[in-house]
Amino acid sequence: MEAYSVQTAGQARGGSGVGRAGSGRGGSAVVRGVLTMTGSGVSNQIGAGIGAHAFPVIGPAGVVAVRQLVAAAVLLPVARPPFHRFTWRQWWPVLLLGAATALMNISLYVAIERIGLGLAVTLEFLGPLAVALLGSRARRDVLCGLAAGLGVFILVLPGPSSDFVGIAIGMAGAAGWAAYILLNRVAGQRLPGLQAPAAATLISLVFYLPVAAYLAAQGLFTGPALLYAIVAGLLCSVIPYAADLIALRHLPAGFFSVFMSVNPILAALSGTVVLGQILVLHEWLGMALIVATNTVAIWLAGRAAVPKR
């Protein structure tokens, strides 16, 4: 989910300008943008499903470590952040952003292992929803929050057999994503271009270096497990990152944010095809309600952000 967070946070301040540029290019540009975003989402969720195949050997932390290595290998040469010139005013949001990235990614993969891909990604999407509703006292936003809460209840239907630990970890991933978006806004204001996400990726990688060193010492980074993790890194980081950059050239940032709410559905389909995880009716209903709430909340936030003439 990393690429989506970078772009929505980075474009939030200039969403209306992007929207004007995208709308002026006509329907074909929108179609290209939507197809690119769909490809990005499919790549992201299939990659997460493929990465789960490495869990029995290297665990979720090992997969995240490889993902972060791949992301750093792509972002750092492109952005080339001048670390020696960073001031403390620039460092502190980057450090927190790296920690949020680490929390977001490990929570997602551990939740996938415990409760499945579709449920984990759906719970994680409560993070952007919380950001959209943050600080609002409008009645419609309160209703969106209540609808999201109802969606979560329907999704998990708490009972004796519920994996409450897995659900809590999924919610931690949502908190990490919310923090990631908010911190990206701050860091993006203080560092140009892609320097903030690149630096944060490196900071996040530091958290996983001990894991990578341990797994390498145990000789576990070999064979299919390593291949699965590398493919997950490419499909979840490299391809979505490039695709989202292209999509935002054709589409308004607000539309981009709303469209990305389809990811839980894509995750559920990927979980079914790649991992054989079949969702039951109440899970589909809860997921649909959360996706619909996310879409409405982000759309309303986008409308509120447009200055009235």
pLDDT, tens digit, 9 for 90 and up, residues 163-179: 899 999 999 999 998 89
The domain spans of the chain are 2-305
The pLDDT assigned to 145 comes to 77
pLDDT by position in tens, the chain (length 309) = 554 444 444 443 344 343 444 444 456 777 777 788 888 889 988 999 999 999 999 999 999 999 899 989 988 998 899 999 999 999 999 999 999 999 999 999 999 999 989 889 888 888 877 877 776 667 777 787 788 888 888 887 777 767 899 999 999 999 998 898 888 888 888 888 788 888 999 999 999 999 999 999 988 888 899 999 999 989 988 788 777 767 766 766 666 666 777 788 888 888 888 888 888 888 889 888 888 887 777 677 666 655 555
246: closest CA among 48, 1, 3, 2?
3
Q: For the purposes of burial, counting CB atoms within 10 Å of the CB of 167, is it exposed (0-12), middle (13-18) or buried (19 or more)?
A: buried
Sign of the C-alpha dihedral computed for residues 223, 273, 32 and 296 taken in this order: negative
Q: CA 268 to CA 250: how far, in whole Å?
A: 27
pLDDT value at residue 54: 93
Predicted TM-score of the model (pTM): 0.79
Q: What is the pLDDT of residue 11?
A: 41
Q: Which of 162, 126, 118, 153 is nearest to 286 (CA)?
A: 153
**Per-residue pLDDT at 222:** 83
Centre a 10 Å sphere on the Cβ of residue 155 and count the other Cβ atoms it contains: 25
Helix pair angle (27-52, 263-275), 10° resolution: 40
